[in-house]
Structure 1
């Protein structure tokens, strides 16, 4: 596993606005506090999200982008990118792999954080089809696409993007987590980031209690002291 001191850049690739914040905003805040550069890449526009059916899809996409930008600021992230795929229709296509590989080569991160491509039978939420699609496409973009100069040759020949090898991947929502990050000092910023997604969390009066209960259970699994909170990941070496 990477030494935290060796992580200078992190790329987070998820399907929807708010996936990052439910899955890893406390960890991201801790990275930023250590001076790590973090970039968010969203695969979909979030146009099929929310509960107000009077809002059209195009306007919903605009709202959710603004919410994600506001949420990112809560944890110190300012670079938020969006591929604009339709919400709810994501597939792990060659086009999606190329688009993610492009950003990997642009950002050149040490660590990529993404959703697990596995179905989680203990909790159905992480198993949204878009989550699994972006997780599978991202893993394929990490290996072999981004590191292979012959993969998607237009990235090198037309865009000048040299191949790049990501050193490690962390999976959100995995049924088999093997790494826990203590976010006790950043949990309030995670909650603030989640509240910024008003279309998704505004109807949840018990949001803080729900999230902290889940994170406290993670901390127990990690063997952390009482009163701690933790986010869980599955670490995937790429070497």
Structure 2
């Protein structure tokens, strides 16, 4: 397989679950496309109101407003001006009928007609049910539209990245019991984009604009390590066994705490 390291994906539509998913996975690729004059559109399923500590005093409406402002600031740094909220409840995407959500995304796809769709892989990256739903919806919408010129790519990680940042076989950041992170050899990827110094600085700035979610992670790692943590963006093509993977992970129990 020829792995694209250039980041030249044409026009992009990203389908994600929560504010900051898009930045973690693809801020470098989005900024690269914007700088090349390509259209970049971002779809976010929820407003991320559940992504706060249990003792946060703000109401759900106030939390949603915080996440809205932060995402707008983050996308502005990348130059992304087109964004769609699906308006589903954070943590509740599994209860949304797949056909309903996929129809909304299909309509967006039909209007945008991107060269590339970026979304989570069938493990949702962490096993989060909202991530799994975003992958199902984007996959179904891509299949419904059936446009030959649009490519669907799934977020993934390299084995080297997993070893460096989570240790061999570590599942500490996974959100379901018994789930190990997908860890691929570089030649199994479709896209392996490594942000240069200017690009990664812009990505980090866009991520840190989402203060409520990112600053605790920066404090945990320290800025130099965090920068390396987010420098690489890896995507793969869909595989025949992905549907079985989605079903299996959807049936695994959530981790306690």
Superposition TM-score, scaled by structure 1 size? 0.76
Shift of residue 192, structure 1, vs aligned partner? 0.5
1:147-199 per-residue CA deviation (whole Å, 9 max, x = no partner) reads: 3xxxxxxxxxxxxxxxx455211212352460201211410111001101111
Distance in 2, Cα, partners of 1:86 & 1:110: 29
Out of 9-18 and 169-178, give the one that drifted further. Answer: 169-178
SS at match of 2:27: helix
Distance in 2, Cα, partners of 1:201 & 1:72: 14
Unaligned 5+ segments in structure 2 are 158-181, 240-257
Shift of residue 119, structure 1, vs aligned partner? 5.7
User: Aligned pairs, how many?
Assistant: 202
SS at match of 1:55: coil
In structure 1, the partner of 2:107 is 102
Q: Residues 119 and 38 (structure 1 numbering): CA distance in 2 closer, same or farther, change over 3 Å?
A: closer
In structure 1, the partner of 2:93 is 90
Shift of residue 146, structure 1, vs aligned partner? 2.2
Distance in 1, Cα, partners of 2:225 & 2:31: 20
1:181 and 2:180 are equivalent in the alignment:
no
1:15-35 per-residue CA deviation (whole Å, 9 max, x = no partner) reads: 000000111101111111111
Distance in 2, Cα, partners of 1:38 & 1:119: 22
Superposition CA RMSD, Å = 2.4
Q: 2:79 aligns with which of 72, 76, 81?
A: 76
Distance in 2, Cα, partners of 1:230 & 1:56: 35
SS at match of 2:14: strand
In structure 2, the partner of 1:130 is 130
Q: 1:32 aligns with which of 24, 31, 34?
A: 34
Distance in 2, Cα, partners of 1:119 & 1:79: 24
Q: Residues 2 and 146 (structure 1 numbering): CA distance in 2 closer, same or farther, change over 3 Å?
A: farther
Distance in 2, Cα, partners of 1:132 & 1:165: 24
Distance in 2, Cα, partners of 1:6 & 1:189: 18
SS at match of 2:92: coil
SS at match of 1:109: coil
In structure 1, the partner of 2:203 is 190
Shift of residue 45, structure 1, vs aligned partner? 1.6
Distance in 2, Cα, partners of 1:207 & 1:103: 38
Q: Residues 172 and 74 (structure 1 numbering): CA distance in 2 closer, same or farther, change over 3 Å?
A: same
CA contact (8 A) 1:13 1:114 kept: yes
Superposition TM-score, scaled by structure 2 size? 0.71
SS at match of 1:36: coil
In structure 1, the partner of 2:150 is 167
